[in-house]
With several copies, the nearest count.
Chain A
Amino acid sequence: MTTLSSQPLDLDALLAETEDDSAGALVVFSGTIRNHHDNKSVERLSYTAYEPIAKKAIAEIEQEVKDKFGVSRCRIIHRIGDLEIGDIAIHCVVRSAHRGEAFEAAKYAIDTTKSRVPIWKEEHYSDGTSVFREGTPLKT
């Protein structure tokens, strides 16, 4: 199953992949590239990953979310490469019988992905400068 992709992310494919007749609730979180950050005008973002650990970490988070919240499906896919405003950087998809745990699980999935998966974003501003966004040190 794809967890990192250099191509535009396909939500419909992810929804088809996670179909589950026993699940009444579907929660999707998607992160998109917005045109501003800290009052600076953003032109584009470059995402890079350390793939051997990033792929393993995402797969671990998917399993952890299912175990921890008792949801039947959790899939996470992150895009890497150069993204323009409005492009989708990540989809987190959770399905479960009821909506309470689906919301909790999706929130945990995105929070955890941001803090545990070796992916970095460099923000390119309209004034020509660029900055690597501050991140969370990996647990060692």
Chain B
Amino acid sequence: MLKIHCLGILQSKVGQAVCEVDWPQNNSIETALATLVEAHPAVASELPRCACAIGDEIVPRSYQLQAGDELVLLPPVGGG
């Protein structure tokens, strides 16, 4: 299982802050996101504008997820 942290508007679309998706190990973020959309179709329209992070690093969607990684999805930001 892969833990995906859904922040901001994604949390309200998914209904929870963290969701777990089935996920064949050592695959890319791109693949994991496709699995997330199957479980939660409401996030599909948001994902193109989201950044992906592992820990404190922004990573590209081609990033190969490793065992123990938790994926963090960051929708468009706007503090202040």
A residues engaging B (CB < 8 A)?
31, 47-50, 52-53, 56, 78, 89-90, 110, 113-122, 132-140
Binary flags per residue of B64-78, CB closer than 8 Å to A gives 1, else 0 = 000000001011111
B79's partner among A49, A53, A134, A137 (CB-CB below 8 A) is A49
Which residues of chain B (36-65) have a CB below 8 Å from chain A?
49-53, 55-61
CA of A120 to CA of B6, assembled, Å: 12
* Given the contacts A48-B7, A138-B51, A53 and B58 also touching, CB distance less than 8 Å: yes
Residues of B near A139 (CB, < 8 A) are 51, 58
Instruction: Give Cα A140–Cα B59 distance, bound, in whole angstroms.
Output: 7
- A140 surroundings in chain B (CB, below 8 A): 51-52, 58-61
Task: List chain B positions with a Cβ less than 8 A from chain A.
Answer: 5, 7-9, 12, 49-53, 55-61, 72, 74-80
Within 8 Å CB of A117, what residues of B? 77, 79
Q: Which of B5, B56, B72 has its CB near the most chain A CB atoms (within 10 A)? A: B56
B8 in contact with A48 (CB, 8 Å): yes
- Distance in angstroms from B28 CB to nearest chain A CB is 14
Expressed in whole angstroms, the minimum distance between the Cβ of B6 and any Cβ of chain A is 11
A133 to B77: give the CA distance in the assembly, Å: 9
A59 to B75, CA, bound (A): 21
Provide a sorted-by-A list of 18 A–B residue pairs whose CB atoms are within 8 angstroms. A50-B74, A52-B53, A53-B53, A53-B56, A53-B57, A53-B58, A78-B79, A89-B79, A114-B79, A114-B80, A119-B77, A120-B7, A120-B75, A120-B79, A132-B8, A137-B50, A138-B51, A140-B59
20 new A-B contacts, CB < 8 A, other than A135-B75, A135-B78, are A53-B53, A53-B57, A53-B58, A56-B56, A78-B79, A78-B80, A89-B79, A110-B80, A113-B80, A114-B79, A114-B80, A120-B8, A121-B79, A132-B9, A136-B78, A137-B51, A138-B51, A138-B76, A139-B58, A140-B52
